[in-house]
Structure 1
């Protein structure tokens, strides 16, 4: 299995970490980005999922 990735919100810099998920929004730890529902939004600023970019190492 590939390593977990992180995605950063272009608007507020919130980081979605696949290893952590977003339990407060019902996204379990270990949920891959492609498995996060399309209607999920940034928990800090509310922008859509398409406003997130893959963080490079």
Structure 2
């Protein structure tokens, strides 16, 4: 599963960690996040995120 980065504030969504502030369980891929998911740091919509290539 890929990590995703918010293009506004640089927050990283990491599927292996989930997001406790939005009640997203560990192991939830970015594609499986609800369409109304918003960045927990800056409140931007899901479309503000881009995939990050792991080195």
Relative to the length of structure 1, the TM-score reads 0.89
Task: Identify which of 23, 26, 40 aligns with 2:23.
Answer: 26
Alpha-carbon offset, residue 56 of structure 1: 1.1
Q: Deviations over 1:3-49 (max 9, x none)?
A: x2100000000000011111221100000111100101000000000
Q: Which runs of 5+ in 1 are unaligned?
A: none
Q: Number of aligned pairs?
A: 54
Task: Please give the root-mean-square deviation of Cα atoms over the aligned residues, in Å.
Answer: 0.7
Runs of 4+ in 1 over 4 A off after TM superposition: none
Q: Which runs of 5+ in 2 are unaligned?
A: none
Task: Identify which of 11, 31, 46 aligns with 1:14.
Answer: 11
